[in-house]
């Protein structure tokens, strides 16, 4: 007996992943139904059974990106600082394996090419990421686990930059050694600042 037949939904996910691979290697302009069919060894007719149009394909790609990003959020019951570290490691690994995600999120060209529903969904995913980081940092500040002399919104940019650096590092997705080194560097940047005896630590200015 051969391998079990994949469901239509499984095949659509595989094709969306293949589309992300094309975007990562050749850019969003190279993503066409013909290019995807050639990439996965299908005829365009077979591909159209899964995606009747390019718009359908683009919406499926955004849905896949949204699903992958959602899976990188850690359990909410964890302490804020631990949630932050787990998020950094999970998100950088997920994006490192699918660098096409960066092309979609960072490319104005892609957002303009998307159907409106896909563009709104992608924008919401980006917003959710920044809100999660900022709110988690603010909670960790209140717990005394993250420096509170800098607004959480400003520290969010450091965390976002760390995720991007890890995802784009040679050999990404990151291994435990690289992840540990970057985590140590990020911890040093976020560590609560010790005040000198008799000196009050500055409070963050409101954003």
Q: Which domains does the chain have, with CATH numbers?
A: 8-62 (1.10.10.60), 66-190 (1.10.357.10)
User: What's the rounded Cα separation, in Å, for the pair 127 and 100?
Assistant: 19
Predicted structure pTM score: 0.83
Q: What is the pLDDT of residue 20?
A: 92
Q: What is d(CA 144, CA 140) in angstroms, rounded to the nearest whole number? A: 6
DSSP 171: T
67/17 Cα distance (integer angstroms): 12
User: What is the per-residue pLDDT for 31?
Assistant: 87
Sign (positive/negative) of CA torsion 9, 13, 18, 24?
Answer: positive
Local mean pLDDT, 10-residue blocks, the chain (207 residues): 64 92 87 91 89 90 95 97 93 90 80 85 94 97 94 95 85 54 82 59 42
pLDDT of the residue at 1: 44
């Amino acid at each position: 007996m051969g391998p079990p037949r994949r469901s239509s939904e499984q095949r659509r996910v595989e094709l969306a992943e293949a589309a992300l691979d094309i975007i990562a290697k050749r850019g969003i302009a190279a993503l066409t139904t013909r290019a995807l069919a050639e990439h996965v060894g299908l005829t365009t007719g077979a591909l159209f059974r899964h995606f009747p149009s390019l718009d359908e394909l683009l919406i499926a790609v955004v849905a896949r990106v949204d699903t992958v990003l959602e899976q990188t959020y850690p359990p909410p019951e964890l302490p804020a600082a631990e949630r932050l570290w787990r998020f950094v490691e999970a998100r950088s690994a997920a994006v490192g394996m699918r660098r096409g995600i960066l092309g979609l999120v960072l490319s104005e060209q892609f957002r303009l090419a998307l159907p409106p529903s896909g563009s709104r969904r992608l924008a919401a995913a980006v917003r959710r990421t920044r809100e999660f980081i900022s709110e988690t940092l603010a909670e960790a500040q209140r717990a005394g686990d993250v420096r509170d002399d800098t607004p959480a919104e400003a520290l969010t940019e450091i965390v976002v930059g760390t995720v991007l650096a890890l995802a784009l590092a040679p050999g990404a997705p990151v291994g435990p050694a690289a992840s540990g080194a970057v985590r140590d560097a990020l911890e040093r940047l976020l560590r609560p600042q010790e005040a000198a005896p008799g000196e009050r630590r500055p409070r963050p200015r409101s954003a």
